[in-house]
Structure 1
Amino acid sequence: MRPIPRIVVAGTHSGCGKTTLASGLMAALAARGLAVQPFKVGPDFIDPGHHSAICGRMSRNLDPFMMGEAGVRETFVRASAGADVAVVEGVMGLYDGLDGTDTASTAHVAKILDAPVLLVVDAKGASRSVHAVVRGYAGFDPAARVAGVVFNRIGSPRHRGLIEATQSLPVYGWVPRRDDLVVASRHLGLAMAAETGILAGFGAVVEETCDLDRIIGLARAVPPLPELPEVSERPEAGIRVGVAHDAAFCFYYQDNLEGLARAGADLVSFSPAQDRLPDVDALYLGGGYPELHAAALAASRCRDDIRRAVDDGMPVYAECGGLIYLTERLVTGDGDHPMAGVLPAVAEMTGRIQGLGYVEARVVGGAPVLEPGSAFRGHEFHYSRLECAPDARFALELLRGRGIDGGRDGITVQNAIGQYTHAYFQAGFAETLVRAAGAYRRS
């Protein structure tokens, strides 16, 4: 098996320019005609959207906590098929992992993939001192191969000269400060890729200020990874699963969608804000920004279609933004908006984070789209909260995470469930949902 050329772009800390440099590198490589497969360490949805727009290939998350080490390798190898080079954007600082450990850190993923690390260092306000930072990062865990550095926010030729006077690791780039290439943010992170193409514009900066030929050589000097096991043929189940996909519902792990397809589902995309409910056997409502599109969601007849479908027994699985959409009402700063009216709860947007971090969930209540007694992992990040009816039924007990009600998540009604947890689907998770859809189709 030929080695997959690969490189991990890591940072010393959040805000050092890692996302900008990784995206710019992807854009510069793509501009040279290379097929670039992008990845993002951790559970984030927004950065992968930018990657996908830049590279023309779907970016994937690599998260050892949610996927396991074998899952990280499998997703990486499978997604990299046909690519000339893979670029992995890290998360936070290189060594920042779960609960202060190495687990799920950028370094952890780099070691799993046996990939060289290109360290982004913000040089603003320092000169020779940056080498102490670089040497500290390179020596902290020798198993994480910090192969070189890109210095960001160089202020002038003199600033660069002061840094060049001392040697540390090989330098692959000297990137000047560019205040004009900044992506706007909102409460869940950066603006979505469809709203701005500014990160792709950084490709020309990377081409001009980084040694792209040497970076490509570094990415190619890697060993092969283990080959994947054979995957059985997809069953021809003829099951149609509707997937809400528009500006309000845009947070999905690509592996989850492909897992449903491998389990036999035909995925049917639709917009709850603009379309009627299509002819499907189950629904998957992902996360996103329903609060920014509450008026359109309230005006659409799709919410009535979904309520009738749930009353008829259709399986519905909803996460975060999808959970909000299934409630009775959504209260935002500009009004009180009726939602689908499936779940006995009212959602309210707040001015502060209500839940953030990894989740471990166990299925303890009845929910046909989830296997009784099963467990799964995921992530939550939300500024909303729910006021639930006293008789609301919860299907999930959280061993880690906040969920809807301080350790409970997954309100269930009929064959529908709505939860704050963004789950990473294992094979059994997707198969259970498809089986439930098949049972509804036959009923």
Structure 2
Amino acid sequence: MIPAIIIAGTHSGCGKTTISGAIMSALVKRGLKVQPFKVGPDFIDPTHHTAICGRSSRNLDPYMMKEKGVIDTFRQASGGADIAVIEGVMGLFDGLEGEDTGSTAHVSKILGCPVILVVDAKGASRSVNAMVKGFATFDPNVKIGGVIFNRVGSKRHAEMIRQSLMAPAFGYIPWEKNKSIESRHLGLRMAHETSAIDEFRDILEENCDIDAIIDLAESSFNERYCETEGTSQAHPVRIGVAYDQAFNFYYADNFDILRRHGAELVFFSPLTDSLPDVDALYFGGGYPELFCAELERSPCRADVKKAADSGMPIYAECGGLTYLSESIEMDGNKTKMCGVIPAETVKMDRFQALGYVDAESTAADCLLPRGTVYRGHEFHYTKLHVASDVRFALELKRGRGIEDGKDGIYIQNVLAGYTHAYFTEKLALGLVHKIRSLK
């Protein structure tokens, strides 16, 4: 197992994303091969990690993946890397329904990783160390190896904090008002839209002890055992994956598990490309509402409709669902989409659903075998106005879905819902088998 460190925060907004990315960048600058990870179901932070490290960032989510899945993903993704940096989610101890499950602390205990706690020091001095003491003693099974104090006002401010330290301080980051990543309706800006982390790296290197961070990562990692699944030897199926600025919310593990079960993935851009020569299509989430005009003009829109009408299997999630709908209305302007799903999409002013999903496929004639059970996540600002006769393939024990705990509209061989699924073996195998049977 490689050395690893978790960068956690006292709360959301304390600066852990910018600091995590800057640490990754500093380690890469030193010539290390850095494997990045993100705790939780987030899609946006991993785009920054991947751009910085040149290695695909992976999600570690104990709720969706179970504890063994966290270990398996960590082991498999870390091959060939020198060090792993794991960015936490929310505050260190914030888990599902106020419990430990799914928290950054939970992942720390699963993997045995030490934690560096990011503390926002703006507006306080000695009091921040009282906070650190509380975090350090709250759960004795979580090792907080040190602290990075963010938004420190001056050298004098840093010295005031230093007088009563309760944990080793790896750095005191001065407040740089314009050196953070901006947000919008689904979270932070994507990696290709900002250079804030690159600009922040030099600040971090000047004010943090990178060698001490490396030493902590190397100090206390516990070996864990996991088995790696073999690769299917069955005849491959070709799945076209929509991947561009409009569609890029995917779990990297989903790609891996599809490949293991015999899928060849062909990436294309619905913004600019015609459909590739494939057996099925996979549309993930993203920001199609920001590219409505381009998607309406693209030749891909008509190609998708034609493919669906001819019986091609199509699996779509969230942004992919809205792209398959009749239209997207945003700020009073309506643009045509693929028209595969009998529904109209409206972009709302506040989020319509946010949280984990427990789903079960209950339809006998859709892409997923009946009884397929899996977990995922939903987060969207759009609302669907559906036709009265639509059929739903998914019953949600947890989550809102398209309406009233129902998700996954299915028509012919199309399945489209709001749930971002974390693929299980049964889900991936059932999907690939269905595509192969229809090929």
Q: Partner of 1:169 in structure 2? A: 167
Q: Partner of 1:308 in structure 2? A: 306
Matched, 1:249 2:247: yes
| Alpha-carbon distance in structure 2 between the residues aligned to 1:267 and 1:363 | 24
| Alpha-carbon distance in structure 2 between the residues aligned to 1:163 and 1:424 | 42
Is the 8 Å Cα contact of residues 359 and 400 (structure 1) preserved in structure 2? Answer: yes
Classify the secondary structure of the residue corresponding to 1:21. helix
| Alpha-carbon distance in structure 1 between the residues aligned to 2:369 and 2:94 | 33
* Counterparts of residues 330-345 of structure 1 (less than 5 Å): 330-333=328-331, 335-345=333-343
Classify the secondary structure of the residue corresponding to 2:316. strand
Classify the secondary structure of the residue corresponding to 1:91. strand
C-alpha displacement at 1:375, in angstroms? 1.0
C-alpha displacement at 1:367, in angstroms? 4.7
Classify the secondary structure of the residue corresponding to 2:91. coil
C-alpha displacement at 1:365, in angstroms? 1.7
Match of 2:68 among 70, 75, 79: 70
Classify the secondary structure of the residue corresponding to 1:72. helix
| Alpha-carbon distance in structure 1 between the residues aligned to 2:359 and 2:425 | 16
Give the TM-score normalised by structure 1. Answer: 0.97
Give the TM-score normalised by structure 2. Answer: 0.98
Match of 1:212 among 210, 213, 238: 210
Q: How many residues align?
A: 439
For residues 80-120 of structure 1, give each alpha carbon's deviation from its aligned partner in whole angstroms, at most 9, with x where no partner exists: 11111100000000000000000000000000010000000
**Matching residue's letter, 2:293:** A
Distance 1:365 1:25, change over 3 A: same
* Counterparts of residues 284-295 of structure 1 (less than 5 Å): 284-295=282-293
Q: Partner of 1:144 in structure 2? A: 142
Classify the secondary structure of the residue corresponding to 2:148. strand
C-alpha displacement at 1:277, in angstroms? 1.0
Work out the percentage of aligned pairs sharing the same amino acid.
Answer: 55
Q: Partner of 1:28 in structure 2? A: 26
Gaps of at least 5 residues in structure 1 are none
For residues 38-64 of structure 1, give each alpha carbon's deviation from its aligned partner in whole angstroms, at most 9, with x where no partner exists: 000000000000000011110000000
Q: CA RMSD in A?
A: 1.1
Q: Partner of 2:124 in structure 1? A: 126
| Alpha-carbon distance in structure 2 between the residues aligned to 1:290 and 1:171 | 43
| Alpha-carbon distance in structure 2 between the residues aligned to 1:258 and 1:142 | 35
Gaps of at least 5 residues in structure 2 are none
| Alpha-carbon distance in structure 2 between the residues aligned to 1:74 and 1:129 | 40
Q: Partner of 1:106 in structure 2? A: 104
Classify the secondary structure of the residue corresponding to 1:108. helix
Is the 8 Å Cα contact of residues 315 and 368 (structure 1) preserved in structure 2? Answer: no
Classify the secondary structure of the residue corresponding to 2:36. strand
Match of 2:9 among 8, 11, 15: 11
C-alpha displacement at 1:230, in angstroms? 4.2
* Counterparts of residues 350-369 of structure 1 (less than 5 Å): 350-369=348-367
| Alpha-carbon distance in structure 2 between the residues aligned to 1:270 and 1:160 | 50
**Matching residue's letter, 1:100:** G
Matched, 1:43 2:41: yes
Is the 8 Å Cα contact of residues 367 and 417 (structure 1) preserved in structure 2? Answer: no
Match of 1:267 among 250, 265, 268: 265
**Matching residue's letter, 2:163:** A
C-alpha displacement at 1:236, in angstroms? 4.8
Q: Partner of 1:378 in structure 2? A: 376
Deviates more, 1:58-67 or 1:226-235: 226-235
Is the 8 Å Cα contact of residues 367 and 416 (structure 1) preserved in structure 2? Answer: no
| Alpha-carbon distance in structure 2 between the residues aligned to 1:200 and 1:61 | 22
For residues 100-159 of structure 1, give each alpha carbon's deviation from its aligned partner in whole angstroms, at most 9, with x where no partner exists: 000000000000010000000111111111111000000000101111111111111111
Matched, 1:403 2:401: yes
**Matching residue's letter, 1:46:** I
